[in-house]
Chain A
Amino acid sequence: IVGGHPGNSPWTVSLRNRQGQHFCSGSLVKEQWVLTARQCFPSCHAPLTGYEVWLGTMFQNPQPEEPGLQQIPVAKIVCGPSDSQLVLLKLERPVTLNLRVALICLPPERYVVPPATMCEITGWGEARGLSHRVLNVASLNVISNQECNIKHRGRVRENEMCTRALMVPVGACEGDYGGPLACFTHDCWVLEGIIIPNRVCARPGWPAIFLRVSVFVDWIHKVIQL
């Protein structure tokens, strides 16, 4: 995250490859399910032996004995609808919810976040100058697709959403993909967007684009239920 500050986000998870390296982020939507970006995974059918999610820490390289750290192997991957750029990861066992690990709410189906809603992005990715050794958080405000499409010349689809461009470099970057755009609604944090690979990151004067989660909430519930 560029232009953010160290912060807390108990539903943000770090995805780890077989060498234990962080390569993407995800969001804890159920005790045993993490939502993240399709682009982070080689395939919907490749074995995931050795891949893990790490939760309950703010450090990119936590010490193994760090209190609260939970390291849970990924058991299964389920790819979302073709246009979703999403995957759901089923964990080998449920996480333990506590002060450091919490679920994030899912929005109602097809819910459209009102413009100006206050949101935040989090991640351990590229921080440009700030330390990416800790979880960084940046605040952003939602704008309508209509306003966003002015700058992006109509390329923003309805299953995507945008946040206001700032004149200073603030935004998600390499290593943050799959992480949450969480918005504060009715005194709860709701997972409204997913950080997806963009051609630019933290570019001043340029609205950021996220995957709109509410379009795929029915798929998420169906996978978890089935």
Chain B
Amino acid sequence: QRSPLNDFQVLRGTELQHLLHEVAGSWQKVVGDAEECAKHCGARLDCRAFHYNMSSLSCQLLPWTQHSPHTRLRRSASCDLFQKKDYVRTCIMDNGVRYRGIVAKTVDGLLCQSWNHKFPNDHKYKPTLRNGLEENFCRNPDGDLGGPWCYTTDPTVRFQSCGIKSCREAACIWCNGEDYRGSVDHTESGRECQRWDLQHPHVHPFEPDKFLDKDLDDNYCRNPDGSERPWCYTTDPKLEREFCNLPRCGSEVQPHQEATTFHCFRGKGEGYRGTANTTTAGVPCQRWEAQSPHQHRFLPEKYACKDLRENFCRNPDGSEAPWCFTTRPGMRVAFCYQIPRCTEEVGTEDCYNGSGEQYRGSVNKTRKGVPCQHWSAETPHKPQFTPTSAPYAQLKENFCRNPDGDSHGPWCYTTDPGTSFDYCALRRCNDDPPVSILDPPDQVEFEKCGKKLDRPHQWLSKLR
């Protein structure tokens, strides 16, 4: 149950502009979705791409792609650009008879002769829309096993292969292939892959816009869940998913592996190689090579790069933190949050007393090392405290200050648009212990909050 979109590569939020032609074909009213457009375009030899407008549910067929002369790509708020894979893929499937790329040199670097020229090499081919013989691009009109070829402009060499790689050979995989971004779109049994952005024939949780870092493009093989190698859902309703057959890049050591840590973990802890071997709450971990009490697929020999030794906490599948299978039958997996996080903070250069309200130093970066915004500036954050509104705080330049008596120390607005304020790379002076808070409790005032019904069992029956 392949989708007509399987023949297309999408560029989200993108419009293809032709500099010499103001408007291409008219917008066609399509009631359905992009698949309808793909059906229209796929059936026409002179259609190489189409715009799909998500708000008007209409599409515009295009006779060119981003590789055509005088075209350029532009951001678009309402359009997606779908281009026929054969025209934009830089590798070939099978023997390349469908290749429609723009390579025009042979494997020895000889310039190709145009197909509609009979000189210096006369030949029998006549360019048509169907055979795709265009300009002097490499093509394979006779199904040659060597792949796309061309007649050459060198009189001594009549024709020569262009040496375009097969998509399978064009990209190899390191370790479990989580970084694979190649264009293979068939599984090891030859089934075609289902597009990641479709939920048929198989419904699945891997929506591309939820997994931006996994680049779940079109229907290309990927490894978004830490499987042993890249895979895809298939267009065969009887087989949900299957591995792809991709070449390994030689040694298992991945060139850009995340820095390994032993006593703490950074980010998701995928680089953690320490020896913590219990869950957060102290339950011993199961050895990775064991299948009891929990059967699993994370076999050490299939995850050579993940260092699944003994029963050490590891993160072989991109979870939120290092984890392990536990030795408790009723608890399959658990995180190892007892491993401390490596600090993300930069070293402190100065110190403050009390809560730092009197700090007048010149430290001007946050604890993460982000430069502070000037107190007098309005961007990227509109300040509530300014040198004029809080003269008492001596808000100079972008030095850290504490105009609102924040009990956690001097802070500043930051130059990071995503972080309005943050505490500074400062520490409390050692000779100034904080005032204890363990005094008698004060009176408690509350607004409208904190109310709930407490009749659980009746509640349960109501829900189910």
Chain A interfacial positions (CB closer than 8 Å to B): 5-11, 17-20, 23-24, 38-47, 49-50, 57-59, 66-68, 76, 78, 81-82, 84, 99, 102-105, 107-114, 126, 128-129, 134, 137, 144-146, 158, 173-175, 177, 182, 185-186, 188-190, 197-201, 214-216, 218-219, 222, 226
Contact = CB atoms under 8 A, between A and B. Distances in A.
B241 to A, nearest CB: 14
B444 A18 contact: no
A197 B337 CA distance: 6
B421 A226 contact: yes
Interface in B279-293: 279-283
A120 to B, nearest CB: 10
Interface string B198-212: 000000010101111
23 contacts: A8-B454, A42-B321, A43-B344, A47-B212, A58-B459, A59-B463, A82-B345, A102-B449, A102-B451, A103-B449, A105-B446, A107-B444, A108-B445, A112-B439, A146-B438, A158-B438, A174-B279, A174-B280, A189-B449, A190-B444, A198-B281, A201-B282, A215-B437
DSSP class of B's interface residues: helix, strand, loop or mixed? loop
B349 to A, nearest CB: 15
Contacts of A68: 463
A8 B455 CA distance: 8
Nearest to B268: A42
A49 B445 CA distance: 38
7 closest A-B pairs by beta carbon, nearest first, are: A188-B450, A50-B210, A197-B337, A201-B281, A189-B450, A81-B408, A105-B450
Interface stretch (B31-39, B75-83, B153-161, B328-336): B328-336
Contact of B459 (A8, A113, A144, A219): A8
Given A105-B449, A173-B281, A189-B451, A111 B442 contact: yes
Interface string B428-464: 0000001011111110111101111111110110010
Q: How large is the interface on B (under 10, 10 to 19, 20 to 34, 35 or more residues)?
A: 35 or more
Contact of A110 (B267, B335, B437): B437
Nearest to B454: A8
Given A42-B320, A144-B438, 12 more contacts: A23-B335, A38-B341, A43-B267, A50-B207, A50-B211, A84-B408, A102-B450, A105-B447, A107-B444, A188-B449, A189-B450, A226-B420
A215 to B, nearest CB: 7
Contacts of B282: 199-201
A97 B444 CA distance: 24
A218 B421 contact: no
Given A174-B280, A197-B338, A226 B384 contact: yes
A198 B280 contact: yes
A12 to B, nearest CB: 10
B441 A8 contact: no
Given A19-B225, A39-B337, A113-B441, A222 B450 contact: no
Contacts of B444: 107-108, 111, 185-186, 190
A186 B450 CA distance: 10
A108 B279 contact: no
B438 A112 contact: yes
A23 B404 CA distance: 36
Nearest to B212: A49
Contacts of A188: 446, 449-451
B320 A41 contact: yes
Nearest to B405: A218
B149 interface: no
A103 B452 CA distance: 10
